């Protein structure tokens, strides 16, 4: 079993640390945010991720997982040090900002008492691990040449613990074969394929994977708009497409466009890497463009359905960028709420986990206490995030609270017939509109 230290206690660092501890390694998670570390030591996990609290609890109790706000203390005798810090989009709006990765690498070099393999887990452009090696060599020449690796993360928020413990593959790029083997040994006992390669290739696998998934989403959203115009049903279209094993069914759900802290910035960063290398990233630029257009298109469709947005009240179900997380970064719901508000609509919203975070980001509306409160007085409801709670509502109760009758299913997950039976009008993304059923109209009349 190895002695592992992890720099950064965000979604990736914390989940990776807890999972390595679960696999039996001795892990210390380090963060310079003292308050965060103090909370973690008291068992207060600052993010919501199903199963993470329990995993941290068990491993802390069993003595395999520790937290430290001090590099020297947290890195003592570490064999492998992971960098899992943020790589936000830089002020130029395109490239990845690597200041946190580089600062963490320099701090690690200064604090380590003996040489260790430094592994980058933060999503960073091709060439970052090599740059990290240069920083390490410069900071502590007595330990040079430093051994570095890139071990990108593929977990999804909302199922991070499950993904971390059951990966489809592990990718390890390393400066030398021994380091690759050493990092690979952390995953002993896992049955998935391990791809070992050079540093640049490992870094590229991560970007290419995220950009490809984002491309599928933009593709399907564009086709959904065409389906909408030509009166075809996108859900059946994607079902039919997905049965082809060369295509497969995953990541073909039309919706409000992708959000979150990864796809938007990673597509931009890969396009920027290409452009910097003299390759015109035509497809990647369109993927981003289609994603922004999708949000505008949804706002326009709602406006068309309501005959304008000024003075209308729109109920928004869901604020997080996807269900089962409290993360609202780059959430389509927030962007759409701003666009609706800019055009004169009043927004009421509910989210099981993201309300406070949305308020912190300047959400332009009222956060209510339940999906039914959100519906009160609404001319239209928009399902923006497909939390289970929204898929099991009592539509008669919703209809009773609403002023208008439009239900816009931004995720194509609601039961159109049931909605119609309660006297409401169902509109989806690239789907046929379902009018209120005659019975329901008679009942409400
Ligand atoms: C994504 C990748 O899926 C992970 O493999 C990767 O590790 C992670 O980024 C990362 O780089 O850290 P994540 O951002 O957590 O994971 O969320 P996803 O489940 O991929 O969803 C991203 C966005 O795409 C969400 O807004 C979601 O609603 C949207 N989406 C997803 C669709 O609109 N349609 C789909 O069919 C699937």
- Measured between alpha carbons, how far is residue 173 from residues 120, 170, 182, 183, 318 in Å? 10, 10, 12, 10, 38
Task: Say yes or no: 166 and 275 in one domain.
Answer: no
Q: Residue 95 has what pLDDT?
A: 85
CB distance 149 to 119 below 8 Å = yes
Active site residues: 262
Tally Cβ neighbours within 10 Å of residue 223.
18
204 within a domain of the structure (yes/no): no
- For residue 385, give the ligand 1 atom closest to its CA: 28
- For residue 12, give the ligand 1 atom closest to its CA: 12
Task: Say yes or no: 80 and 172 in one domain.
Answer: yes
Number of domains in the chain: 2
- Residue/partner pairs of 33-40 with CB below 8 Å, 24 or more apart: 33/9, 33/69, 34/69, 36/9, 37/9, 37/67, 37/68, 37/69, 38/69, 40/9, 40/14, 40/67
Q: Mind listing the pLDDT tens digit of every residue in the chain (445 residues)?
A: 999 999 999 999 999 999 999 999 999 999 999 999 999 999 999 888 999 999 999 999 999 999 999 999 999 999 999 999 998 888 988 888 999 999 999 999 999 999 999 999 998 999 999 999 999 999 999 999 999 999 999 999 899 999 999 999 999 999 999 999 999 999 998 999 999 999 999 999 999 999 999 999 999 999 999 999 999 999 999 999 999 999 999 999 999 999 999 999 999 999 999 999 999 999 999 999 999 999 999 999 999 999 999 999 999 999 999 999 999 999 999 999 999 999 999 999 999 999 999 999 989 999 999 999 999 999 999 999 999 999 999 999 999 999 999 999 999 999 999 999 999 999 999 999 999 997 655 544 4
Task: Say yes or no: 25 and 159 in one domain.
Answer: yes
Task: Say yes or no: 137 and 256 in one domain.
Answer: no
Q: Report how far ligand 1's centroid is from the alpha carbon of 25 (Å).
A: 29
- Token couple for 170: 């592990």
- For residue 331, give the ligand 1 atom closest to its CA: 26
Q: Residue 93 has what pLDDT?
A: 86
Q: Residue 440 has what pLDDT?
A: 57
Task: Say yes or no: 139 and 266 in one domain.
Answer: no
End-of-domain residue from the set 149, 171, 197: 197
Q: Residue 258 has what pLDDT?
A: 98
End-of-domain residue from the set 143, 171, 197: 197
Task: Say yes or no: 34 and 81 in one domain.
Answer: yes
- Token couple for 8: 């950064």
Write out the DSSP string of 319-376: -SSSSS----TT-HHHHHHHHHHHTT-EEEEE-TTTHHHHHHTT-SSEE-SSHHHHHT
CB distance 312 to 343 below 8 Å = no
65 within a domain of the structure (yes/no): yes
273 within a domain of the structure (yes/no): yes
Q: Report how far ligand 1's centroid is from the alpha carbon of 54 (Å).
A: 24
373 within a domain of the structure (yes/no): yes
Taking the C-alpha atoms of residue 420 and residue 433, their distance in angstroms, rounded to an integer, is: 10
- For residue 253, give the ligand 1 atom closest to its CA: 36
226 within a domain of the structure (yes/no): no
Task: Say yes or no: 239 and 163 in one domain.
Answer: no
396 within a domain of the structure (yes/no): yes
Range of the domain at 129: 3-197
Q: Report how far ligand 1's centroid is from the alpha carbon of 212 (Å).
A: 11
Taking the C-alpha atoms of residue 154 and residue 213, their distance in angstroms, rounded to an integer, is: 12
Task: Say yes or no: 117 and 242 in one domain.
Answer: no
Domain of 15: which CATH number?
3.40.50.720
- Which residue, judged by its Cα, is nearest atom 7 of ligand 1? 154
Task: Say yes or no: 162 and 250 in one domain.
Answer: no
Taking the C-alpha atoms of residue 223 and residue 221, their distance in angstroms, rounded to an integer, is: 5
Task: Say yes or no: 135 and 268 in one domain.
Answer: no
Q: Residue 445 has what pLDDT?
A: 40
Q: Give the mutation target among 88, 259, 260, 385 for probing the ligand 1 site: most ligand atoms within 8 A of CB.
A: 260
Taking the C-alpha atoms of residue 324 and residue 387, their distance in angstroms, rounded to an integer, is: 7
What lines the ligand 1 site, CB under 6 Å?
A: 123, 153-157, 210, 213, 217, 251-253, 255, 258-260, 262-263, 321-322
Q: Report how far ligand 1's centroid is from the alpha carbon of 232 (Å).
A: 26
Task: Say yes or no: 125 and 19 in one domain.
Answer: yes
42 within a domain of the structure (yes/no): yes
**Quick one: which of 203, 168, 212, 206 has its CA closest to 187?**
168
DSSP 413: -
Q: Give the mutation target among 217, 234, 326 for probing the ligand 1 site: most ligand atoms within 8 A of CB.
A: 217
349 within a domain of the structure (yes/no): yes
- Which residue, judged by its Cα, is nearest atom 3 of ligand 1? 156
- Which residue, judged by its Cα, is nearest atom 24 of ligand 1? 258
CB distance 157 to 223 below 8 Å = no
- Token couple for 257: 């466009």
Q: Report how far ligand 1's centroid is from the alpha carbon of 13 (Å).
A: 18
Task: Say yes or no: 42 and 183 in one domain.
Answer: yes
């Amino acid at each position: 079993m190895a002695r592992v230290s992890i720099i950064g206690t965000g979604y990736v660092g914390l989940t990776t640390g807890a999972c390595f501890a679960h696999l039996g390694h001795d892990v210390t998670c380090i963060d310079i945010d003292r308050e965060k570390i103090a909370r973690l030591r008291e068992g207060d996990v600052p993010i919501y991720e199903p199963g993470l609290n329990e995993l941290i609890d068990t491993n802390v109790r069993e003595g395999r997982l520790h937290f430290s706000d001090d590099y020297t203390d947290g890195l003592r005798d570490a064999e492998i040090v992971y960098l899992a810090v943020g790589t936000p989009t830089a002020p130029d709006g395109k490239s990845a900002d690597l200041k946190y990765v580089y600062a963490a690498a320099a701090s690690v070099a200064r604090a380590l008492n003996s040489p260790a393999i430094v592994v980058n887990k933060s999503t960073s452009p091709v060439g970052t691990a090599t740059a990290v090696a240069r920083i390490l060599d410069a900071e502590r020449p007595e330990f040079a040449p430093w051994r570095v690796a890139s071990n990108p993360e593929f977990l999804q928020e909302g199922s991070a613990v499950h993904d971390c413990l059951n990966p489809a593959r592990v990718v390890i790029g390393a400066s030398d074969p021994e380091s690759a083997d050493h990092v690979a040994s952390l995953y002993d006992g896992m049955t998935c394929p391990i791809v070992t390669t050079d540093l640049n290739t490992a870094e590229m696998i991560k970007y290419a994977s995220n950009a490809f998934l984002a491309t599928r989403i933009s593709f399907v959203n564009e086709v959904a708009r065409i389906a909408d115009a030509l009166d075809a049903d996108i859900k059946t279209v994607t079902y039919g497409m997905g049965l082809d094993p060369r295509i497969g069914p995953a990541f073909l759900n039309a919706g409000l466009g992708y959000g979150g802290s990864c796809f938007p910035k990673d597509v931009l960063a890969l396009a920027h890497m290409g452009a910097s290398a003299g390759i015109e990233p035509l497809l990647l630029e369109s993927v981003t463009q289609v994603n922004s257009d999708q949000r505008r298109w949804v706002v326009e469709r709602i406006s068309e359905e309501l005959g304008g947005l000024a003075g209308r009240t729109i109920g928004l179900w869901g604020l997080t960028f996807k269900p089962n997380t409290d993360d609202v970064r780059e959430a389509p719901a927030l962007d759409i709420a701003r666009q609706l508000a800019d055009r004169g609509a009043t927004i009421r919203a509910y989210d099981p986990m993201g309300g406070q975070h949305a308020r912190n980001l300047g959400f332009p509306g009222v956060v209510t206490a339940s999906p039914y409160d959100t519906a009160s007085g609404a001319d239209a409801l928009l399902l923006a995030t497909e939390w289970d709670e929204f898929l099991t509502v009592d539509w008669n109760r919703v209809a009773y609270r609403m002023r208008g009758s439009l239900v816009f299913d931004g995720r194509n997950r609601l039961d159109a017939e049931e909605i119609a039976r309660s006297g409401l009008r169902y509109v989806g993304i690239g789907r046929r509109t379902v009018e209120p059923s005659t019975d329901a109209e008679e009942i409400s009349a």
